[in-house]
Amino acid sequence: KALVDEPEAVRVNEVDGEKVTVIELRVAPGDLGKVIGKQRRTARAIRTLLNATAAKLRKRAVLEMLDGAWT
């Protein structure tokens, strides 16, 4: 089962800063609730995977979930 209804609208952008890397996850407006999940479980799981990967690389990463098009 797909996590989003509009997979073609999913965009991921990486913004490197001095101390932290920001991962921007953009989805269609109607899919944001699905990506966040019930009681934020899906969002927490995605952040856990992101932080585990970043820790292996000795970096710090933050996930921002956004809806809509790139600005």
What is the total count of domains within the chain? 1
Query: 60 falls in which pLDDT band (50, 70, 90)?
Result: very high
- Whether 23 is covered by a domain: the verdict is yes
- Whether 2 is covered by a domain: the verdict is no
Neighbours of 6 (CB within 10 A): 12
Q: What angle do CA 64, 68, 71 make, to 5 degrees?
A: 85
Q: Which tens digit of pLDDT belongs to each residue from 14-26?
A: 999 888 999 999 9
- Whether 41 is covered by a domain: the verdict is yes
Q: Return phi, psi of residue 46, to 5°.
A: -65, -45
CATH number at residue 35: 3.30.300.20
- Whether 1 is covered by a domain: the verdict is no
What integer best gives the mean pLDDT of the chain?
91
Domain that holds residue 25: 7-67
**pTM score:** 0.81
For 23, what's the count of Cα atoms within 13 Å in the CB-facing half-sphere? Answer: 16
What is residue 2's predicted lDDT score, i.e. its pLDDT?
83
Assess whether pLDDT exceeds 70 at residue 71: no
Q: What is the mean pLDDT of residues 7-33?
A: 93
What is residue 70's predicted lDDT score, i.e. its pLDDT?
58
